[in-house]
C-alpha cells in the first residue's frame, strides 16, 4: 500500500468511528447545487458554508457545463428537488494554461504526466501516446468571466433545464477565498 492509501483509510476509520449522519435524507436539505472546479484549493463546503446533506456539489476540470455536468444538474432538480444552481469557476485555473491543441498533442506524444515551465507544456518521454484525445473537447478557458457566462447560458438554454431555475455565476478568488459575482452570468441565469 502507498502512504496516501494508508492515510485515506486511516482518516476514514477515524471519521466512521464517530459518524452520526447516517439518517440524512437523499435530497439536499438546502435545495441547491454547485457546479465548480475539481481544483484541490477549492473547498465548496467552506466557501459556501455547507454541511453534509446541504447541497449537491458537481466537480470537473474547470467547473464547466459539460454534458455530464448538465446530466447531474438535471438529476439534482428532477429527482432530488434542487431549486437554485451556482456555476463557480476560479482564478489561477489550470484550464487557462493550455488549449485543446496542446492537450491533444501531449496525449499523442505520451500518456505520462507532462510538466510546465515558462516556455509551456512538455512531455517527459516519447511513445505510448494515443490519438483518442483528438476527439474530446477539453473545454479550456481563455477568460474566466466569459467562461462562467458561457456555462450559465448553456445550462439555462438546455432543453432539459426548466426556465424557473435560477443559475448564478461566480468566480472564486484563490488568493482571498472570496466569491466574486459575474453579473452578466447571473443576469443570463435569471
pLDDT at 19 over 80: yes
Q: Can you give the pTM of this predicted structure? A: 0.93
Positive or negative, the Cα torsion across 143, 44, 69, 157?
negative
Per residue in 57-100, pLDDT tens?
999 999 999 999 999 999 999 999 999 999 999 999 999 999 99
Would you state the cell numbers that stand for residue 112, as one nine-digit string? 505520462
- Can you tell me the distance from the alpha carbon of 90 to that of 141, in angstroms, rounded to the nearest whole number? 11
CATH 3.40.1050.10 domain span(s) along the chain: 28-97+140-190
Per residue in 28-56, pLDDT tens?
999 999 999 999 999 999 999 999 999 99
Domain 28-97+140-190 annotated CATH 3.40.1050.10: yes
Task: Give kind and range of the element (H or E) at residue 14.
Answer: helix 3-17
Nearest alpha carbon to residue 121 among 142, 98, 100, 95: 98
DSSP one-letter code for 151 = H
Amino acid at each position: 500500500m502507498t502512504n496516501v492509501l494508508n492515510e485515506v483509510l486511516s482518516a476514514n476509520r477515524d471519521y466512521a468511528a464517530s459518524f452520526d449522519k447516517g439518517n440524512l435524507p437523499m435530497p439536499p436539505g438546502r435545495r441547491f447545487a454547485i457546479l465548480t472546479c475539481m481544483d484541490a484549493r477549492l473547498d465548496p463546503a467552506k466557501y459556501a458554508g455547507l454541511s453534509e446533506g446541504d447541497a449537491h456539489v458537481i466537480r470537473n476540470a474547470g467547473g464547466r457545463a459539460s454534458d455530464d455536468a448538465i446530466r447531474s444538474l438535471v438529476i439534482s432538480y428532477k429527482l432530488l428537488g434542487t431549486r437554485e444552481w451556482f456555476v463557480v469557476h476560479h482564478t489561477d485555473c489550470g484550464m487557462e494554461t493550455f488549449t485543446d491543441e496542446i492537450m491533444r498533442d501531449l496525449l499523442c506524444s505520451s500518456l505520462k504526466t507532462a510538466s510546465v515551465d515558462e516556455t509551456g507544456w512538455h512531455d517527459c518521454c516519447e511513445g505510448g501516446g494515443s490519438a483518442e484525445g483528438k476527439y474530446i473537447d477539453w473545454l479550456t478557458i481563455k477568460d474566466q468571466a466569459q467562461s462562467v457566462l458561457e456555462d450559465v447560458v448553456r445550462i439555462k438554454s438546455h432543453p432539459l433545464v426548466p426556465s424557473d431555475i435560477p443559475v448564478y455565476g461566480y468566480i472564486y478568488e484563490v488568493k482571498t477565498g472570496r466569491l466574486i459575482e459575474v453579473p452578466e452570468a447571473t443576469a443570463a441565469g435569471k
